[in-house]
């Protein structure tokens, strides 16, 4: 069975929420652990609505310090404290965020000592690996916004092939050989017969990937970093006729999001962070699809599975 | 036509939000101006959902500095700034709130100079009038909680009677007499006939009132302040079987809320701030109604009109 790699949209408005859209927050379920990406006001309520177990969130990535991307963080941390959390919480953000959270915890006289709260400062100059384990690598990379801002790339790491159990008995394969075969080796039987690796193994599923790019102006510099990504979320605050406004505010149009997706050879594009000036994102979506047909406009509480 | 005096519930959860209930916030429409009472996380979104024009909010009353009662304030103030607000905003709260908001505005590098942001420190020792004009008086009064906490009482002031226009012509009443008649005087015609005031006027509608009591333990000290109130909101965090827990956390049960409503001779009681441990407030409501039948359990986005 394929293990999950699923994105859930908790909020997708731009600066101010609407009755339909919370401020920005997303949660990526990677192999059963949850990465929270941005944390706008109302995130903890949206987590409940989507039945996401708070205790499975160990990592929070904050793209930048505009309020619509992190005003929900103090409420979530307060709830962690009230719930008696014990496990470490890692926050990847601008180094200043630590001062902001510490001020609030002191102000609220909340005792946050029962669990380690670990801040990891982001690098806004160049791409950087921020989490890496046997299964997954998470990197931050610079976006182009009014203030220091990072995107995030989540990549499953290549897994070993699965050995076919019946073949172990059939060729009497010793246990010490299995590791090599999983890594791609052929097998030579006692009487010298060479069994090609392809006969012994089922290839591992292709590693999946997700990239998050919000908030950002049109930014070709990041294309190499996200090249070939399975799923790309790119902000699309404005429609094409408001391109000048997008440039002035360091945001993107749907067309620009689509151009990035196309240039980066993404498999699929999600757009969001729509300005409240548009009643619906229909026009932004249409303009994006003209350039990159595999585009969807996200909705709050919708999930997108990377297959 | 009766002018509005209407309460809208924006949030009614206790410490942490649920998928059904936002943290505490309410808005009272008094004669077309809006008083925001507490401002939990998500308040600005709930204001939009209830189509309440942000620019008609001039007064925000914050009962106490637990996060579930004011985490939405910085987001709302940020939005006021983004929207180019010009009119003064008055905030009635613990004096420390000013330091908290100022820190955040500085941190966010938000320029809040286009409108006056005026903090009024609450008195946690005794009742105090915080707003008074010709039509309305708003008072704060101490509640009994773990930290300094105030309730708020909104009282329409008695209005003059309306003079019946036909009577002015019928008795040839000079303009200089109208003020006295509205204030209750009889009228003596040129030929000495005494016209009783009741024949000349229609009494003004009875002044309406609303009292907000959250968060608080059972607190008889406030009964005199809220006596005879038309509508009373009183927190009811716990069910009767958890009375000890209510006492330990300085909260109330539904029964205690009802006892206060009964002792204060309130016309109607609303209960809320329910602990997330109860799936529904049905039992808390039943226990309260045994003591004070005119009780309702509030729902988010519901409005309650004081007739």
The predicted-structure confidence for A51-82, as pLDDT tens digits, reads as follows 999 999 999 999 999 999 999 999 999 999 99
Average pLDDT, integer, range B248-269: 98
Which residues in chain B have their CB less than 8 angstroms from residue A45's CB?
A: 17-19, 22, 41-42
Q: What Rg do the C-alpha atoms of chain B give, in angstroms?
A: 22
- C-alpha B250: how far from its chain's center? 21
Which residues in chain A have their CB less than 8 angstroms from residue B96's CB?
A: 107
* CA dihedral of B294, B300, B306, B307, whole degrees rounded to 10: -90
Pick the CATH number of A5-157+214-305 from 3.40.50.720, 3.60.15.10, 3.10.450.50, 2.40.30.70: 3.60.15.10
A90 is in an annotated binding site: no
| Separation in Å, CA of B268 to nearest CA in chain A | 30
> Which pLDDT value is given to residue A4?
87
Which residues in chain A have their CB less than 8 angstroms from residue B15's CB?
A: 79, 82
Flag if A48 and B19 touch (Cβ within 8 Å). Answer: yes
B66 is in an annotated binding site: yes
- Say whether pLDDT at A213 is over 70: yes
A38 is in an annotated binding site: no
Nearest to A78 among B45, B48, B67 (CB): B67
The predicted-structure confidence for B143-155, as pLDDT tens digits, reads as follows 999 999 999 999 9
Which residues in chain A have their CB less than 8 angstroms from residue B84's CB?
A: none
The predicted-structure confidence for B112-123, as pLDDT tens digits, reads as follows 899 999 999 999
CB A119 within 8 A of CB A169: no
Which residues in chain B have their CB less than 8 angstroms from residue A79's CB?
A: 15-16
Nearest to A24 by CA among A62, A57, A53: A62
| Separation in Å, CA of A294 to nearest CA in chain B | 31
The whole-angstrom separation of Cα A52 and Cα A54 is 6
Q: Which residues is A272 bridged to in the sheet?
A: A235
Average pLDDT, integer, range A146-166: 94
- Which candidate in A68, A230, A242, A300 is catalytic? A68
Q: Tokens representing A77?
A: 């941390």
The whole-angstrom separation of Cα A227 and Cα A266 is 7
- The C-alpha angle A7, A65, B21, rounded to 5 degrees, equals 60
Would you kindly state where each structural domain of chain A is located, as residue ranges?
5-157+214-305, 162-202
B18 touches chain A (CB under 8 A): yes
- The C-alpha angle A282, A285, A289, rounded to 5 degrees, equals 140
The whole-angstrom separation of Cα A34 and Cα A59 is 7
Give me the interface pTM, i.e. the ipTM. 0.91
Q: Where are the alpha helices (DSSP H) in chain A?
A: 43-49, 73-82, 96-107, 165-171, 175-182, 197-200, 223-226, 243-248, 254-263, 282-291
The whole-angstrom separation of Cα B269 and Cα B259 is 10
A102 touches chain B (CB under 8 A): no
Average pLDDT, integer, range A90-103: 97
- Say whether pLDDT at B1 is over 90: no
A251 is in an annotated binding site: no
Flag if B71 and A75 touch (Cβ within 8 Å). Answer: yes
A301 touches chain B (CB under 8 A): no
| Separation in Å, CA of B49 to nearest CA in chain A | 5
| Cβ neighbours for A303, distance < 8 A, ≥ 6 positions apart | A6, A7, A8, A9, A50
Report DSSP state, residue B176.
H
Which SS3 state, helix, strand or coil, does residue A191 take?
coil
CB B267 within 8 A of CB B209: no
> Which pLDDT value is given to residue A159?
87
Q: Tokens representing B140?
A: 């704060």
In chain A, the percentage of residues whose pLDDT exceeds 90 is 90
Nearest to B82 among A16, A19, A49 (CB): A16
Q: Concatenate the DSSP letters of all residues of B271-302 into one string.
A: EE-B-TTSS-SHHHHHHHHHH-SSEEE--TT-
Task: Given CATH 3.40.50.2000, say whether it is the number of domain B5-159+205-296.
Answer: no
């Amino acid at each position: 069975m394929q293990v999950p790699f699923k994105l859930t949209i908790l909020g997708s408005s731009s600066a101010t929420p609407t009755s339909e859209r919370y401020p920005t927050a997303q949660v990526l379920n990677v192999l059963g652990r949850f990465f929270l990406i941005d944390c706008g006001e109302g995130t903890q309520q949206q987590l409940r609505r989507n039945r996401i177990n708070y205790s499975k969130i160990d990592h929070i990535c904050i793209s930048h310090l505009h309020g619509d991307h992190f005003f929900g963080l103090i409420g979530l941390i307060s709830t962690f404290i009230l719930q008696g959390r014990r496990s470490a919480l890692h926050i990847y953000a601008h180094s200043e965020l630590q001062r902001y959270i510490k001020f609030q915890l002191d102000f609220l006289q909340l005792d946050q000592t029962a669990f380690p709260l670990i801040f990891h400062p982001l690098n806004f100059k160049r791409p950087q690996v921020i989490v890496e384990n046997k299964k997954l690598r998470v990197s931050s990379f610079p976006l182009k916004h009014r203030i220091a801002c990072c995107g995030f790339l989540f990549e499953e790491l290549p897994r070993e092939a699965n050995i076919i159990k019946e073949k172990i008995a059939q060729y009497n394969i010793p246990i010490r050989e299995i590791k090599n075969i999983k890594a791609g080796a052929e097998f030579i039987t006692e009487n010298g017969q060479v069994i090609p690796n392809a006969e012994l193994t089922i290839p591992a599923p292709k590693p999946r990937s997700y990239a998050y790019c919000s908030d950002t102006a049109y930014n070709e510099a990041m294309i190499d970093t996200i090249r070939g990504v399975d799923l790309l979320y790119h902000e699309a605050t404005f429609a094409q006729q408001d391109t000048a406004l997008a440039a002035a505010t360091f945001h993107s149009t749907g067309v620009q999001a689509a151009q990035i997706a196309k240039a980066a050879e993404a498999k699929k594009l999600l757009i969001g962070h729509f300005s409240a000036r548009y009643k619906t994102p229909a026009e932004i979506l249409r303009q994006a699809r003209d350039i990159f047909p595999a585009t969807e406009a996200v909705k709050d509480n919708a999930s997108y599975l990377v297959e």
